[in-house]
Chain A
Amino acid sequence: MWEAIAFYSLAIFLIYFAFKTITVPNPIHAALYLVLTMIGLGAAFFNLGAQFIAGVQMIVYAGAVMVLFVMVLMLFDLKAELRAFSRGLFSGGLKVMSAALLAGLAIGAANSSVAILENPDSAKPVADVTRQLGILLYTKYLYAFEALGILLLAVAVGVVAVSRIKGGTHAQH
């Protein structure tokens, strides 16, 4: 019962914040709404028993990625744009419809495949998630973990290289 209430309130918040993210004209506002969405998602993760992931979500996403977004947005001195959304009613409708269709298909597929999951009735929460996660990460998925490190290195180098483009960032020149 309480579970249901928690879930539904969280869901309503999430949907509201996400909707606002994509519809407000001012990009800074959109970024702030996105931060709220991510915090909400962190709460959802916590609800689902993924405490470690919830923490990582807060730290990485809400704490680092979104700060980055906001920093970049502040670099451009943007006012609200005149035309925030792309033109055309027909193409707009088409895009919404296609997104809805895709999501609907995905949901339908996922729901119909629930029955084939391995332990459908074991709702027993996994104890000591972090520890278990750590063991898995360093034994079974070690290769991917190391590869990820190299990927991050490459990304860092790439970002530095890209940012050496000449030019100023003032809106008016």
Chain B
Amino acid sequence: MNHALLILTLLIAPLLGFLFNGLRFRSPDGYVAGTVATLAAGISFLCSAVLVKDLAAMPVESRVIATHFFDWITVGNLHVPFGFVVDQISAIMILVITGVGSLIHLFSIGYMSHDERPAKYFAYLNLFLFNMLVLVLGDNLLITFVGWEGVGLCSYLLIGFWFTDAQKAAAGMKAFVTNRIGDAGFLIGVFMLFSAFGTLNYADLINVIPKSPEALWTGTLTVATLFLFLGATGKSAQIPLYVWLPDAMAGPTPVSALIHAATMVTAGVYLFVRMSPVLIMAPHTMEVIAWVGAITAFVAATIGLTQWDIKKILAYSTVSQLGYMFLAVGVGAFTAAEFHLMTHAFFKALMFLGSGSVIHAMHEEQDVRHMGGLRKYMPITHLTFVMGWLAIIGMPPFAGFFSKDEILWQAFSSPYGSKGLWAVGVVTAALTAFYMTRLMALTFWGKSRFGHDVHPHESPPTMLIPLIVLGILSVIGGWFGIPHLLGEYVHLPNLIEGWLEPVVAKLPEVQSEPVIEWSLMRFSVALAGLSAAFAYDSYILHPERTGKLVSALGVVYEAIFNKYYVDEIYQGWIINPLVEGSKALWLYIDVNFIDKATYFAGDLVSGMASFVKTVQNGKTQSYALYMALGVVVVMTIVLM
């Protein structure tokens, strides 16, 4: 089938869903809205599947489907086409986005069935899908930026969906403003790249940069990519712009699953994987990215240990896992980053949806201290959650093991990596296992801690089917990227590495002993297992121990529980000075100078008008005199 038509359908279906639901946004009928939206997402998924199938059928050297709809901007030297390209990287992305997206749309039908404005919700959800697809399919940085901004907008709309609650609305604003700061950085990076290399097209940039002499001068490229990374920290919630993501849990849970686990937050990772041949020319940036990712992973994991809200735990877990992806990017393991993106989408979306199921069953209760023992009441939710839990803590043969392990190995062995990075990664893996097991223990296992008036029940099928599908994917998703070490035994190649190889940058091979890789693998799995067992012991078998530990840690615990006071520091050191400065500017400069200048201009015109008005005095003879004088002047001019 015609590829341009397929890409067009892929993009237009969610847009049409947005228009359909958007025009009837006051409708309270959630089923019609949800069905239309899910159908739109499903159509996109079908188109993606066909496109990827066609892509796979093409020979490796020319494995790309590109379309060009029209020339968007042609100004001076800037030629920006409105074109889309499907290659190996975007193939994975569109399958994940539309596949997981469709499942989440399906889940939302059940979840939002009691809401006042479901049509508006589904409209925003479809709009988000459209923008995300534009982001990943664009063939140049500007189209990506259009999608980038669009998903930021949809994120704001969806987080602040219940905007009548001031706190939720504020969370939406926080997300948008923080994203905006990142976007400014992104734009500066784009400007620098354009001024240095004259093109914004990915293919052209990749072709131009390794050959140009400026590439060896890391100055421009490093600064430009650092600015792009600033944009990525905003969108993908890394230090210093991660503060919006925990607050974003104010939105409906499926939104958290779609946007803040599977798709939007991965935009930054996607950007760098796509620009990997450019990025490896700026090793300093890569070092920065790796360390920021590692530290973010660690810090977020520590905060996640202390939280009591089920969604906040998952939010900090997301920040932490994104840190892993950036760590992978920073050490040059682009395939591993993309792989972890994919598996994380599966198990994190699963867990968010599962928590949504739990919250729905517990009548909007989100505090895990009031849960417990839900395994008996919600068996299917519990089973799928277990699959996600095993995946995230990195137990073989579940999905997370393969991707996380690959990242840790690359952090250790890559020429851009270091033992320090590996150490941070391993400790964070242990922490991850701990807090995820803690979550499971407090929510599903042990004794029930809720009152007798709460009767949790299993969720309806529309909510269970996505959970089951994602659960299966969490199990088998990792088998796309079995490392060579293990692959020899099961006779399965590393599919994802082979798929992505032609398009991501290749780092010089480092020869290392298989023994080291084996022992690292065993070490990390063992550490994760021990950590999980310790958590189980702490929360189920000997719960009083945690209380003593917390009081022993005292101030340290307080600091971690309050998220290291980062929000307060931002408020006091950045936001308040800016607000006060703006107020000062308003009161002293705007009122005194600018307003006075405009009044002066107005008064000047008014005064001149009153003066000129005296000419028209209504006397015929004055007018005749003016005419005579006019004739005199004209005659003088003519005769001279």
Q: Which residues of A contact B (CB under 8 A)?
A: 86, 91, 94-95, 98-99, 101-102, 105-106, 108-109
Residues B628 and A99 in contact, CB atoms below 8 Å apart: yes
Q: Which of B77-85, B159-167, B341-349, B632-640 contacts A (4 or more CB under 8 A)?
A: B632-640
For A94, list chain B residues within 8 Å (CB): 625
Residues A105 and B621 in contact, CB atoms below 8 Å apart: no
- Within 8 Å by CB of A102, from B621, B622, B632, B639, lies B632
For A102, list chain B residues within 8 Å (CB): 628, 631-632, 635
- Within 8 Å by CB of A109, from B622, B629, B635, lies B635
10 A-B contact pairs sorted by A residue (CB < 8 Å): A91-B622, A95-B621, A95-B625, A95-B628, A98-B628, A98-B632, A99-B628, A101-B632, A106-B635, A109-B635
Residues A105 and B639 in contact, CB atoms below 8 Å apart: yes
For B629, list chain A residues within 8 Å (CB): 98
Q: Is the interface of B mostly helix, strand, loop or mixed?
A: helix
A94: nearest residue on chain B (CB-CB)? B625
Closest chain-B Cβ to A165's Cβ sits at a distance in Å of 20
Q: Which residues of B contact A (CB under 8 A)?
A: 621-622, 625, 628-629, 631-632, 635-636, 639
For A86, list chain B residues within 8 Å (CB): 621
**Cα A86 to Cα B623 with chains together (Å):** 14
**Cα A86 to Cα B622 with chains together (Å):** 10
Closest chain-A Cβ to B626's Cβ sits at a distance in Å of 10
For A106, list chain B residues within 8 Å (CB): 635
For B635, list chain A residues within 8 Å (CB): 102, 105-106, 109
> Quick one: which of B625, B632, B636 has the most chain A CB within 10 A?
B632
For A98, list chain B residues within 8 Å (CB): 625, 628-629, 632
For B622, list chain A residues within 8 Å (CB): 91
Residues A105 and B636 in contact, CB atoms below 8 Å apart: yes
**Cα A109 to Cα B636 with chains together (Å):** 10
**Cα A91 to Cα B617 with chains together (Å):** 14
Beyond contacts A95-B621, A98-B628: 10 other A-B pairs, Cβ-Cβ < 8 A, are A91-B622, A91-B625, A98-B625, A99-B628, A102-B628, A102-B632, A102-B635, A105-B636, A108-B639, A109-B635
For B631, list chain A residues within 8 Å (CB): 102
**Cα A86 to Cα B620 with chains together (Å):** 11
**Cα A95 to Cα B631 with chains together (Å):** 13
B635: nearest residue on chain A (CB-CB)? A105
Residues A105 and B625 in contact, CB atoms below 8 Å apart: no
For A105, list chain B residues within 8 Å (CB): 632, 635-636, 639
**Cα A109 to Cα B637 with chains together (Å):** 12
**Cα A12 to Cα B634 with chains together (Å):** 31
A108: nearest residue on chain B (CB-CB)? B639
Closest chain-B Cβ to A101's Cβ sits at a distance in Å of 5
A109: nearest residue on chain B (CB-CB)? B639
**Cα A109 to Cα B622 with chains together (Å):** 26
For B632, list chain A residues within 8 Å (CB): 98, 101-102, 105
For B628, list chain A residues within 8 Å (CB): 95, 98-99, 102
Closest chain-B Cβ to A23's Cβ sits at a distance in Å of 16
B625: nearest residue on chain A (CB-CB)? A95
**Cα A109 to Cα B625 with chains together (Å):** 21
For A109, list chain B residues within 8 Å (CB): 635, 639
A102: nearest residue on chain B (CB-CB)? B632
**Cα A105 to Cα B629 with chains together (Å):** 12
**Cα A86 to Cα B619 with chains together (Å):** 11
Closest chain-B Cβ to A105's Cβ sits at a distance in Å of 5
**Cα A104 to Cα B248 with chains together (Å):** 88
Closest chain-A Cβ to B380's Cβ sits at a distance in Å of 98
Closest chain-B Cβ to A104's Cβ sits at a distance in Å of 9
For B639, list chain A residues within 8 Å (CB): 105, 108-109
**Cα A129 to Cα B363 with chains together (Å):** 118
**Cα A99 to Cα B631 with chains together (Å):** 10
Closest chain-A Cβ to B144's Cβ sits at a distance in Å of 73
B639: nearest residue on chain A (CB-CB)? A109
Closest chain-B Cβ to A14's Cβ sits at a distance in Å of 22
Closest chain-A Cβ to B268's Cβ sits at a distance in Å of 80
Closest chain-B Cβ to A1's Cβ sits at a distance in Å of 35
Top 8 closest pairs, chain A to chain B, by CB: A105-B635, A98-B628, A101-B632, A102-B632, A98-B629, A95-B625, A109-B639, A86-B621
For A91, list chain B residues within 8 Å (CB): 622, 625
**Cα A152 to Cα B161 with chains together (Å):** 81
**Cα A8 to Cα B635 with chains together (Å):** 29
Closest chain-B Cβ to A91's Cβ sits at a distance in Å of 8
**Cα A95 to Cα B627 with chains together (Å):** 11
**Cα A105 to Cα B628 with chains together (Å):** 12
**Cα A47 to Cα B635 with chains together (Å):** 31
**Cα A141 to Cα B242 with chains together (Å):** 94
Closest chain-B Cβ to A81's Cβ sits at a distance in Å of 15
**Cα A101 to Cα B636 with chains together (Å):** 10
**Cα A99 to Cα B632 with chains together (Å):** 9
Closest chain-A Cβ to B639's Cβ sits at a distance in Å of 6
Closest chain-A Cβ to B629's Cβ sits at a distance in Å of 5
Closest chain-A Cβ to B616's Cβ sits at a distance in Å of 16
Closest chain-B Cβ to A9's Cβ sits at a distance in Å of 31
A86: nearest residue on chain B (CB-CB)? B621
For A101, list chain B residues within 8 Å (CB): 632
**Cα A98 to Cα B627 with chains together (Å):** 10
**Cα A94 to Cα B628 with chains together (Å):** 11
**Cα A95 to Cα B623 with chains together (Å):** 11
A100: nearest residue on chain B (CB-CB)? B632
**Cα A24 to Cα B629 with chains together (Å):** 26
**Cα A30 to Cα B100 with chains together (Å):** 105
Closest chain-B Cβ to A112's Cβ sits at a distance in Å of 9
> Quick one: which of A86, A91, A105, A108 has the most chain B CB within 10 A?
A105
For B625, list chain A residues within 8 Å (CB): 91, 94-95, 98
**Cα A64 to Cα B625 with chains together (Å):** 30
Closest chain-A Cβ to B312's Cβ sits at a distance in Å of 87
A101: nearest residue on chain B (CB-CB)? B632
Closest chain-A Cβ to B620's Cβ sits at a distance in Å of 10
**Cα A59 to Cα B631 with chains together (Å):** 33
**Cα A106 to Cα B639 with chains together (Å):** 10
B628: nearest residue on chain A (CB-CB)? A98
A99: nearest residue on chain B (CB-CB)? B628
**Cα A86 to Cα B625 with chains together (Å):** 12
**Cα A95 to Cα B622 with chains together (Å):** 9
**Cα A94 to Cα B622 with chains together (Å):** 11
**Cα A91 to Cα B639 with chains together (Å):** 26
B621: nearest residue on chain A (CB-CB)? A86
For B621, list chain A residues within 8 Å (CB): 86, 95
B626: nearest residue on chain A (CB-CB)? A98
**Cα A94 to Cα B631 with chains together (Å):** 15
For A99, list chain B residues within 8 Å (CB): 628
Closest chain-B Cβ to A106's Cβ sits at a distance in Å of 7
**Cα A168 to Cα B445 with chains together (Å):** 113
A98: nearest residue on chain B (CB-CB)? B628
For A95, list chain B residues within 8 Å (CB): 621, 625, 628
